[in-house]
Amino acid sequence: MPIHQRAREAGIFNPSEVALLGRVFDKLKDEHQSPERREALASRLLANYLAGIRDEAELLSVSKLPLGR
């Protein structure tokens, strides 16, 4: 999964943070998405988390929107 790989590569997340990101990513992804779209979704999710959004419901909500919106 891109989000787990991205989080591990960043090396700044503890296991509970990776679990949170994974749960949100799993709720947002679509099995019909291309690998590129999933990669963009993972990047958007990480950007929102790094911007300080830690609440799972809020992270899910804002990560549905394109960055900068």
The span from the CA of 38 to the CA of 15, in Å, is 21
Distance CA 23, CA 62 (A): 15
Q: What is the pLDDT of residue 59?
A: 96
pLDDT of residue 28: 93
- pTM above 0.85? no
- Neighbour tally for 19: CB within 10 Å: 13
pLDDT computed for residue 2 by the predictor: 63
Q: What is the pLDDT of residue 67?
A: 63
Please list the rounded mean pLDDT of every run of 10 residues in the chain (69 residues).
66 85 93 90 90 96 77
Structure confidence at residue 57 (pLDDT):
97
